[in-house]
């Protein structure tokens, strides 16, 4: 009997020891964990955004032209703490499609050159009034290969070339007796809108030029003008020099990346060279600008209006200038 009692005590002690061991295992303190940042850390807004009432949730839908993508990037960089945020403007719809999206209510703000008469007519037909806010200076320029001895072109000559295809030799523009090849842009491009507004006055371009010498991209225009006389991909030189047009700031920015400017000559227009100084003070007659455009019925409290307020600030002017643009504040004489 005594032996059974001792066995029972031993078994009980063993069971109690096992339970105690399990309790200690369960109640052991957890291992220290590393701090984990939330997935949306890159969507953290800046103090500037807070000042203008911009949040990640209400960040406006922004679109624009190829040439103004740098301004859209400047806005984004000012509003976010991190470049990798979800609203980084990696793509744009280009000038006319952006206007159409704004008119349709698909976006709230676009950054573009001034529209063509056709776009303004579309807005009127749609019952939409557009509101224009100047952001940066810009200018339409005419370009030709660097080897071309011609230096100047006039408005009458541009109209004769692109409306009538009436000038076929560079000798009529003070150059050598080589064929003049007039390259044009597609109708919905920003540079084409500028040509229509400032020089052609919305008259239709010669169909032969539109059919045979159209270039669909801004970068392609620079390359085609620079190398057309070399024969392009087939490598057969031609007895010609091309004429094209683009936007001043775009060419300067592209030159920093590709050095294409060394292969091109910018022609004076009506005897005035399109320098940054001449564009800023308005002595170059084809100077216009880039605009932030919204619908006039956009609510006063909308975040896009916060962006508009920032664009009028000295901080915005510095950010825009840092990206190679001429801020509107630098335009001392040009009327908006």
First to last CA, the chain: 113
Residue 4: inside a domain, yes or no? no
Q: Tokens for 105?
A: 């209510």
Give me the helix-helix angle, 117-125 and 95-103, nearest 10°.
10
Domain coverage including residue 64: 43-137+289-330
127 and 146 fall within a common domain: no
pLDDT greater at residue 329 or residue 44: 44
Give whole-number Cα distances, 38 to 35, 42, 47, 81, in Å: 10, 9, 20, 15
Residue 299: inside a domain, yes or no? yes
pLDDT at 281: 85
Instruction: Provide the residue count of the chain.
Output: 336
pLDDT at 232: 65
At residue 18 the predicted structure's pLDDT band, cuts being 50, 70 and 90, is very low
187 and 254 fall within a common domain: yes
252 and 300 fall within a common domain: no
User: Strand 109-113 and strand 287-295: pairing?
Assistant: antiparallel
Taking the C-alpha atoms of residue 225 and residue 241, their distance in angstroms, rounded to an integer, is: 8
- Residue 247, beta-bridge partner list: 140
Q: Give me the number of domains the chain comprises.
A: 2
Rounded average pLDDT over 26-54 = 73
202 and 226 fall within a common domain: yes
278 and 295 fall within a common domain: no
- The mean-pLDDT minimum among 11-15, 29-33, 206-210 falls in 11-15
- Rounded to the nearest angstrom, the gap between the alpha carbon of residue 150 and the centroid of all alpha carbons in its chain is 32
Query: Helix or strand or coil: residue 143?
Result: strand
CATH number at residue 48: 3.40.190.10
Q: Nearest 10 degrees: CA dihedral of 187, 221, 149, 167?
A: -30
Taking the C-alpha atoms of residue 96 and residue 322, their distance in angstroms, rounded to an integer, is: 26
254 and 157 fall within a common domain: yes
Rounded average pLDDT over 224-252 = 90
- The mean-pLDDT minimum among 35-39, 67-71, 264-268, 295-299 falls in 35-39
- 108 pLDDT above the threshold of 70: yes
264 and 166 fall within a common domain: yes
pLDDT at 11: 42
Taking the C-alpha atoms of residue 157 and residue 149, their distance in angstroms, rounded to an integer, is: 17
Taking the C-alpha atoms of residue 118 and residue 122, their distance in angstroms, rounded to an integer, is: 6
Rounded average pLDDT over 104-117 = 96
- The mean-pLDDT minimum among 9-23, 136-150, 163-177, 305-319 falls in 9-23
Mean pLDDT across the chain: 88
Q: 41, 49, 110: which is closest to 79 by C-alpha? A: 49
Q: Tokens for 289?
A: 């600008």
Q: Do residues 219 and 254 lie in contact, with contact meaning Cβ atoms separated by under 8 Å?
A: yes
Q: What is the pLDDT of residues 169-216, one digit of tens each?
A: 999 999 999 999 999 999 889 899 999 999 999 899 999 999 999 999
Q: Do residues 124 and 217 lie in contact, with contact meaning Cβ atoms separated by under 8 Å?
A: no
Spell 36-51 as b/e; 16+ CB within 10 A means b: eeeeeebbebeebbee
- 234 pLDDT above the threshold of 70: no
231 and 260 fall within a common domain: yes
DSSP string, 215-249: E-SHHHHHHHHHHGGGTGGGT---SEEEEEEEEHH
Query: Helix or strand or coil: residue 51?
Result: helix
Q: Tokens for 168?
A: 């076929």
Taking the C-alpha atoms of residue 32 and residue 220, their distance in angstroms, rounded to an integer, is: 58
Rounded percentage of the chain residues whose pLDDT exceeds 70: 85
Residue 246: inside a domain, yes or no? yes
pLDDT at 226: 97
């Amino acid at each position: 009997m005594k032996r059974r009692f001792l066995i029972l005590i031993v078994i009980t002690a063993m069971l109690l020891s096992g339970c105690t061991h399990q309790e200690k295992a369960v109640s052991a303190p957890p291992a220290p964990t590393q701090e984990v940042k939330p997935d949306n850390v890159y969507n953290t807004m800046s103090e500037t955004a807070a000042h203008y009432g911009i949040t990640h949730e209400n960040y406006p839908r922004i679109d624009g032209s190829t040439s103004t993508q740098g301004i859209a990037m400047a806005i984004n960089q000012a509003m976010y703490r991190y470049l990798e945020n979800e609203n980084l403007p990696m793509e744009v719809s280009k000038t006319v499609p952006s206007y159409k999206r704004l008119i349709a209510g698909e976006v709230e703000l676009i950054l573009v050159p001034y529209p063509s008469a056709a776009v303004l007519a579309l807005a009127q037909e749609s019952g939409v009034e557009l509101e224009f806010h100047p952001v940066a200076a810009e200018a339409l320029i005419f370009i030709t290969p660097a080897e071309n001895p011609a230096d100047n072109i006039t408005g009458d000559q541009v109209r004769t070339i692109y409306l009538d295809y009436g000038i076929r030799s560079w000798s009529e523009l003070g150059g050598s007796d080589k064929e003049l090849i007039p390259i044009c842009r597609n109708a919905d491009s920003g540079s084409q809108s500028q040509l229509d507004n400032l020089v052609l006055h919305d008259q239709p371009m010669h169909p032969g030029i539109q059919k045979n010498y159209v270039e669909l991209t801004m970068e392609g225009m620079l390359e085609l003008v620079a190398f057309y006389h070399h024969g392009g991909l087939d490598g057969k030189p031609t007895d010609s020099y091309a004429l094209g047009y683009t936007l001043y700031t775009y060419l300067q920015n592209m030159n920093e990346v590709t050095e294409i400017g060394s292969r091109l000559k910018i022609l004076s227009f009506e005897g005035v060279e399109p320098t940054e100084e001449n564009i800023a003070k308005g002595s170059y007659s084809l100077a216009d600008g880039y605009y932030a455009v919204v619908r006039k019925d956009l609510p006063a409290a909308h975040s896009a209006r916060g962006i508009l307020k920032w664009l009028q600030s000295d901080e915005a002017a510095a950010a825009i200038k840092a990206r190679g643009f001429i801020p509107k504040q630098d335009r001392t004489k040009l009327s908006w």
